[in-house]
Amino acid sequence: MKITIFGTGYVGLVTGTCFAEVGNDVVCMDVDENKIARLNNGEIPIYEPGLEDLVRRNHKAGRLRFTTDPDEAVRHGTFQFIAVGTPPDEDGSADLQYVLAVARTIAERMDEYRVIIDKSTVPVGTADRVREQVQAVLRERGVDVPFDVVSNPEFLKEGAAVDDFMKPDRIIVGTDNPRTTELLRALYGPFNRSHDRLIAMDIRSAELTKYAANAMLATKISFMNELANLAERLGADIEQVRIGIGSDPRIGYHFIYPGAGYGGSCFPKDVQALARTAMQVDYRPELLLAVEEVNRRQKELLFSKIQRFFGDLKGRTFGLWGLAFKPNTDDMREAPSRVLMEALWEAGASVRAFDPEAMNECRRIYGERADLTLCDSPEAVLDGADALVIVTEWQLFRSPDFQAIRKALKQPVIFDGRNLYDPVQMAKAGFRYFAIGRPVVEPQA
């Protein structure tokens, strides 16, 4: 099948590449000439396990092409995917200017039937606005070209996006006529072979499903962080509580890990956008607002622990393990590391940091500055640091040489925002160890 993808960001690039991998003819279009040039040269602008090899293989085979030419893009695909960004507006609502701009671009050029598919995460009612935009442009052109608008939200986890697309838990398709449902069923046939994962519903329900899924997961995280803060004050161990409640199959173990707060491009933005949508229909979403507030507060927790322990931070240096908002990505959008570093800098401290994938992204965001040293290894971070702070739970950090850490730090202090280690064992190793929702065990001499 011939497929066009507008947007070569995270969602667009993964979607286009995976469709090409099963034999489709895919054109990815973006207005960013530099990004398209890099993609045509085999350079991948994001880190996602397994994606680079797939892009290069399918591009070489001619099934995956990249262009800045909208005429070529609209002419190519019966299926026109909109996978551009929907950044939060000043009031937290999703900014649809890029989605609607693509709708206009398609409408200005199409001369035969097209299925226009909203892949971007968009508020309920966006498909109606896309349809209105296309109809308005067609009227301006004085032509009558048939088209359908579909909601087909993505459910890709950063760090596992290729597997998520190739082996989906579910494929949500929101349509307003049976013909389009069957077209989408055929399109997704290669990913839907062992059993039927495609769930067809009305368009508005599909749009809400995406926001509901992310809001539910964010709620679980904030709930566990709320419990962790309570456990800390009650002398309980949140990790034991987590195991206790996770054993209940009604709750399960997924997304109940306490930590330094959630980040990334999805949860913060989508919770805010869903809350704003609720406000627009005169409903105050108390739970969503609480989820967001708990997360905002949780991102400040590591700094509070550090400040409580050291007092005046001016002139001190802190080593950070982890910059990305989670492992297996280089994404630092809304990352807890950013809140922590900016607070440390504001307090007059310096930062030494290492991340397996997010170093270049950190340089892009913060540039060169005297109070930030990006190190080439986890060990180098420790040199001259007053304490080690663990912000991202990369596998690389799970079993370090604690004797080497103790020797390198000015004093044996670790602040663990991801609860990687056992407090009793850390005390035996001579560390002052501060985790999230766990008792502090005094170090042994």
Catalytically annotated residues? 266
Q: Which residues of 201-215 are buried (b: 16+ CB within 10 A; e: fewer)?
A: bebbebbbbbbebbb
C-alpha span between 169 and 163 (Å, rounded): 10
Other Cβ atoms closer than 10 A to 199: 13
Cβ(325)–Cβ(266) under 8 Å? no
- Cβ–Cβ under 8 Å, residues 16 and 64: yes
CA distance 55 to 35: 14
Distances (CA, A) of 35 to 40, 46, 66, 85: 9, 11, 9, 15
Q: 147-151 and 64-67 as β-strands: parallel, antiparallel, unpaired?
A: unpaired
Of the candidates 332, 328, 325, the residue with the CA atom closest to the CA atom of residue 392: 325
CA dist 397 → 228, 255, 324, 338 (Å):
22, 20, 14, 19
Give alpha helix (H) positions in 44-110.
51-61, 70-76, 97-109
Cβ(133)–Cβ(122) below 8 Å: no
